[in-house]
Chain A
Amino acid sequence: MTDALDALYDAAIVRRAREARAVRVPEGATHRAKVHNALCGDRVEVGAVLSEAGITELGFRARGCALSLAAAHLLRELLAGRDVEEARALTRAFRAALEEGVPPEDPALAEALAPFLPVRRFPSRVRCATLACEATEEALEP
């Protein structure tokens, strides 16, 4: 029997969360930001190496729950190699999908985000899954 918890802690989320613990902020990051969820104490620091070609490397250091770690892990994958405008648009779509239930237009993003959508049934946990987006938006601010 599966239920809302099985959906929330999908194997993909659990795997990403585990792998996320090994990720670091790249040395020589040109853009950085740290955000903090005062409600639960979760912290995410994002660092990106930007060149004229776009984001050459993006990494993070996250301290928090499986949802915040897994979301940071996915975001890192999605943003690698993108230019700043694309990265901002993706991050916005990522947030809109989780915060407002707006389906992403980009089919690849929609597929990657699917395991995260059950968080919408746990309103107190949505911000866990968008904390990395907040940090990334702040890091990429002009």
Chain B
Amino acid sequence: MRPDAPSYDVATVRAQFPALAQTVHGKRLAYLDSAATALKPQAVLNALATAYGRDMANVHRAVHELARRATEGYEAARARVARFLGVADASSVVFTRGTTEALNLVARGWATPRLREGDEILLGELEHHSNLVPWQMVAEATGARLVWVPVPVDGVVRAEDYLERLGARTKLVALTHVSNVLGTVLPVAEIARGARAVGAITVVDGAQAVPHVPVDMTALGCDFYAFGAHKLYGPTGIGVLWGRRERLDEIVPQQGGGEMISIVEREASRFKEVPHRLEAGTPHIAGALGLHAALDWYAGLDQAALHAHEARRLAEATVGVEALGGRVIGAAPGKVAALSFVMEGIHPHDLGTILDHEGVAIRGGHHCAEPLMDALDLEGTARASFGAYNDHEDVAALLRGLERARALFAPSP
């Protein structure tokens, strides 16, 4: 295993994360659960402190100075997100509570009013429950049918797997950009092109992709893209639904209230334009500012060096886990930042407890992807996932913990 390349200074990155300064059960913390949520750099914590401690006011309402700063900050965050997504129109960025709320907004506000009995929703077995249960609810409400794309055991997803299931009845394709279990990067652009050709829209769950792969809406060609800030080093409770402007205009608001109306009369109201019509109530102002800070912080990293760094962690962990007899789940070329594996005879939760005791934080279980676990005939997996701050020592701690687990579970003589 090689040390980190000089182009990426992981020690400098680590120094920006206060959470990494602690010990857990008396051990150095090896945080390998960034696919669940990433730790937060000081820049994000500072932005939250400024939002609550200095520029605190409600947005789009009062004329006083603090309200001006809060409103400008909130709208600047929206523009920053648009830039991150490679789009010019900031009004195509809707703030939500997170990925799940964004996907549910499309399901309830766009799909449920439009789909009819006999229509088809195409989705993969590998989807996270957040991009699966909303479509079950749409199917239940409208009589539309779910058409499943199977996942091969190697975790490699091919565009043809989707394209060959598209037809005149397909109205919507729901897919993740990056699998939270397998690390597979899906060929979104090719699938979205095929979907458009049959008149279907494409809804992409970007939760796992945003911290690891470039996300350019023009290149992807999807209709909706959802992600949360918290896996991208930002705060919890804030996320984004990006949509093509004409698609966003078609969404029926699911919440009415302040912030989203232009005129309210006794019997009816007129709504504002998007994005505001989809953001009823006081938004998570500090969250938006924290997301802005996270995007700035993230953009400050040398992207090519970061991706290479994370790929190196993934590669050395893969080699180490396999050397200890672990079976790695998911072998897609170019997979990113998540290593799912099983150790024969040791349940993932036992691994989780044992590793925790060694200061190593991983996730064990079905990863909110039960249909995928069923398809792969797995009870669950252990998942180590990597972020900007993981160094060689984190992987070494993981492997030491796995050795310990093997020793504890070895048949007694």
Q: Using a CB–CB distance below 8 Å, which chain A residues touch chain B?
A: 3-6, 8-9, 11, 14-15, 18, 40-42, 63-67, 69, 122, 125, 128
Contact = CB atoms under 8 A, between A and B. Distances in A.
B408 A5 contact: yes
Contacts of B379: 41, 63-64
Contacts of B347: 64-66, 69
Contacts of A65: 347-350
9 contacts: A3-B357, A6-B408, A8-B353, A9-B354, A11-B412, A14-B412, A40-B349, A40-B380, A66-B347
- Top 6 A-B residue pairs of the complex, sorted by shortest distance between their CB atoms: A65-B347, A65-B349, A9-B408, A11-B412, A41-B366, A65-B350
Nearest to B25: A4
B353 A125 contact: yes
Interface in B128-171: none
A41 B350 contact: no
Nearest to A43: B379
Classify the secondary structure of A's interface with B.
helix
B357 A5 contact: yes
Contacts of B350: 9, 65-67
A20 to B, nearest CB: 11
B349 A9 contact: no
B349 A15 contact: no
A40 B365 contact: yes
Residue picked from B408, B409, B411, most chain A C-beta under 10 Å: B408
B409 A14 contact: yes
B345 interface: yes
Given A40-B365, A41-B365, A41-B370, A18 B349 contact: no
B404 interface: yes
A11 B353 CA distance: 17
B413 to A, nearest CB: 10
Contacts of A14: 408-409, 411-412
